[in-house]
Amino acid sequence: MSEETFWWFTDEQKELQRKITQFVDENMEEAERYVLKSEIPWPLIKKVGTEGYFGAAVPKKYGGLELGATGCAIVSEQISRLAAVGTLYLASTLGGTHQLLKYGTDEQKQEWLSRIAKGNELGAITITEPFVGSDAAGVMTTAVKDGDEWIVNGKKRFITGGGIASRYFTYVKTSEDPADRKNYSHITALIIEKGTPGFSLERVNPLIAYDNVPNSYINFNDVRVPDENRIGAVGKGWNVMMAGLNFERLMGAVNNIGNVRDIIPLLFHYTKRRVQFNQTTSRIPGIQNEIANIVAKYRMARVYVYNIAKQIDDGEEPALDASSAKWIISENVRDAAFRAIQVMGGDGLTKFFPIERIARAAKISEIAAGTSEVQKMIIYRFASKLGLYNRPVRLRWDDELNFPIKSNKESRFKGLEVNEENVLKVIAHDYKVNPGLYMTPDDVREDIGGDRELILNVFNKLKEQNLIVTHSDRTGKIALVKATYEGLKKAFPDSYYQWFPKWYSDADKF
């Protein structure tokens, strides 16, 4: 594997890598100038558009490059190295592209995807509101149908590129019916264009970073939007919003990686020229450790994201990996930037080096486009549904070792009659193996066998006698059982539960 490509890259992707890297290297200085002057880099944005990169995800029949997930990742990783340009590029290209591809009509695709591909204008996504953050389903901005138009009222905030973008992919509430809200059928997606009467910029946020990228509040005051600008069916905006999320999270992760790429050569350059304690700081083991940490995480992140891109190109939906990448890489970039500051000491704190700017921007990436906490929630939910992870792990007491070990052997109680005495023994024995855990009804059935309903009836009888305690699920069904102290006594003598390490003296037992 070379420095930038991977073995599964096609010749076309390798050439794309070479070309886009050269383009970015040639325009790095110009991008830095716009940041330091706090100017929106319009000329550089137009250069990106002229090269056709805004159409990376757009099919060729609509004027795009149709590069697939891997090609889009290659472009986004490199463009992200252009300060400010990368942020605006990501917001614009993700501003409805996949939603249009999946839910747009032929006419809408021809109109909007062609405009995205040309790169003559920027796009923006509007989800967050004063009332809505991570709870994206809680939108309060409303749209009421009036003939062939929608009348939109409300506000959106934290809109990257708000004000300078020309098209706004907007999610609005179109139903107050609680049943629709419960079924996520209360949201509709609209494209609203800059210049529409009643649609206005309210304020620009002075964020911790993005020094020359406007992040804005926008206001809708009786804004009339033609129904032909509705993407997807009425009330199906949630489905539209969810379309392409794996791709979008991938692009968010890739966008972060590009920033780390330029930290590494700067650190090697700096530490080979900074002398402390009669040696260059590059010779100090602690400094080497910090740089090694950054390099390793950068290289692992690239392998991970391009593996995800390959999965998407192969028709898979790697939700677990995409959310993992968005979360982990956001934190890794922030960590890398702060490690780099520490390596450079006081110089790292100054604005004469780009490290502090990358550190500030990295913090935003942990919140924008889905917070790290939301990604963790998604990861947990998806992982909990995978049999690979969410499956019983059975410990059995090994009499020879006198110790609980992971085992696939059948329980010593297997095949016994399902009655109160034997079921109680199964549950009490589990205390010997797993003192702090409950058993599920399936655990008990696996250990003893027999009919599930019969086992549940026995549970109720044991509970009435205060020999077990139960924990019910949301429907009121028994989900977990555990022997009470009285149950433990009834099932086995106290000596059954005793266990001491070999080195423990009998004299100290009582």
The answer to whether residue 58 scores a pLDDT higher than 60 is yes
Nearest to 251 by CA among 66, 49, 92: 92
Average pLDDT (367-395) is 90
Q: How far apart are CA 481 and CA 487, in angstroms?
A: 12
Q: What is the CATH number of domain 1-121?
A: 1.10.540.10
Q: In this predicted model, what pLDDT tens digit does every residue of 489-507 receive, in sequence order? A: 999 999 999 999 999 999 9
Q: What is the pLDDT of residue 1?
A: 45
Fold of 395-508: Arc Repressor Mutant, subunit A (1.10.10)
Both tokens of 130, joined, read 């004063």
Q: Report percent pLDDT > 70 for the chain.
A: 99
- Phi, psi torsion values for 417, nearest 5 degrees: -65, 140
Average pLDDT (384-401) is 90
Query: Confidence band (pLDDT; 50, 70, 90) for 86?
Result: very high
The answer to whether residue 78 scores a pLDDT higher than 60 is yes
Average pLDDT (368-391) is 90
Q: What is the pLDDT of residue 51?
A: 96
Query: Confidence band (pLDDT; 50, 70, 90) for 258?
Result: confident
Cα angle vertex 342, ends 340, 346, to 5°?
Answer: 110
Query: Confidence band (pLDDT; 50, 70, 90) for 238?
Result: very high
Q: In this predicted model, what pLDDT tens digit does every residue of 470-481 receive, in sequence order? A: 999 999 999 999
Instruction: Look up the CATH superfamily of 245-384.
Output: Butyryl-CoA Dehydrogenase, subunit A, domain 3 (1.20.140.10)
Residues 6+ apart with CB under 8 A from 165: 91, 92, 95, 121, 122, 123, 124, 159, 194
What is the model's pTM?
Answer: 0.88
Element (H, E) at 351: none
- Residue 197's Cβ-count burial label (10 Å; 0-12, 13-18, 19+) is exposed
Q: What is the pLDDT of residue 387?
A: 87
CA 8 to the chain's CA centroid: 25
What is the 8-class DSSP label of residue 185?
Answer: -
Q: In this predicted model, what pLDDT tens digit does every residue of 203-215 receive, in sequence order? A: 999 999 999 999 9
- Phi, psi torsion values for 238, nearest 5 degrees: -65, -40
| Residue in the block written with tokens 């949630």 | 238
Query: Confidence band (pLDDT; 50, 70, 90) for 3?
Result: low
Q: Report percent pLDDT > 90 for the chain.
A: 91
The answer to whether residue 330 scores a pLDDT higher than 70 is yes
Nearest to 227 by CA among 199, 196, 189: 189
Q: Would you kindly state where each structural domain of the chain is located, as residue ranges?
A: 1-121, 123-243, 245-384, 395-508
Q: In this predicted model, what pLDDT tens digit does every residue of 428-469 receive, in sequence order? A: 999 999 999 999 999 999 999 999 999 999 999 999 999 999
Q: In this predicted model, what pLDDT tens digit does every residue of 123-159 receive, in sequence order? A: 999 999 998 888 999 999 999 999 999 999 999 999 9
Give domain 123-243's CATH architecture: Beta Barrel (2.40)
